[in-house]
Structure 1
Amino acid sequence: MIWVTTAIVVVKTVILLLGSGITYIAFRAYRRTGTPSLRALGIGFGIITLGALLAGIAHQVLSVSLEMGILINSILVAVGLGIILYSLYLERG
């Protein structure tokens, strides 16, 4: 089962890199335009990325169960998606 642990670390690293890139680009766009929806979009993606990072750290470093790591990740993904939905609503209004 060591390959599963390695695969989780690799995928979480890819999520961290991609999510950080999206968050950075959204915040740069917000600073350039001052559009509140872009700020909310960046925050949403940042929270989703944070969820992947915290779940990985909790499972690998703090020896939290895989189920608890998934719960942590899922809660932060749900919050992040809610903020992204809000950012799209702001853009519409």
Structure 2
Amino acid sequence: MNGVITAIAVVKFVILLLGGGITYIAFKAYRRTGADSLRVLGVGFGIITLGAILTGVANQFFSVGLALGVLINSLFVALGLAVIMYSLYIQK
């Protein structure tokens, strides 16, 4: 079981790096272009990344069960994807 816990921690760290990178690049592009869709895109990826990290922390440090952690993570992913979809829809 320790191997699985370690693997989850490593994957959550990779998600933090990749999600944080995408969020940063989207906000950097927004500042350069002023396109609202890029700002909203960054928010969407930020929500997904935040959800992954929060559920990992909740599971490791606050003994939140796996099922509840998956549910919370899924809610963050759904919300983040909805925001990303909206960012693709809006026009300047």
Match of 2:69, SS state, is helix
Q: Which residue of 1 aligns with 2:19?
A: 19
Paired residue type of 1:15: I
Question: Which blocks of at least 5 consecutive residues in structure 2 are unaligned?
Answer: none
Question: Under a length normalisation based on structure 1, what TM-score does the superposition of the two structures give?
Answer: 0.95
Structure 1 position 35 matched with structure 2 position 35: yes
Question: Which blocks of at least 5 consecutive residues in structure 1 are unaligned?
Answer: none
Q: Which residue of 2 aligns with 1:61?
A: 61
Distance 1:3 1:23 in 2: 30
Q: Please give the per-residue CA displacement for 1:11-47, whole angstroms capped at 9, x wherever unaligned.
A: 0100010000000000000011110100110000000
- Percent identical among aligned pairs is 67
RMSD: 1.0
Match of 2:48, SS state, is helix
Distance 1:2 1:42 in 2: 34
* Runs ≥4 residues deviating over 4 A: none
Note the C-alpha offset of 1:74.
0.5
Matches within 5 A, 1:60-79: 60-79=60-79
Question: Under a length normalisation based on structure 2, what TM-score does the superposition of the two structures give?
Answer: 0.96
Distance 1:57 1:69 in 2: 10
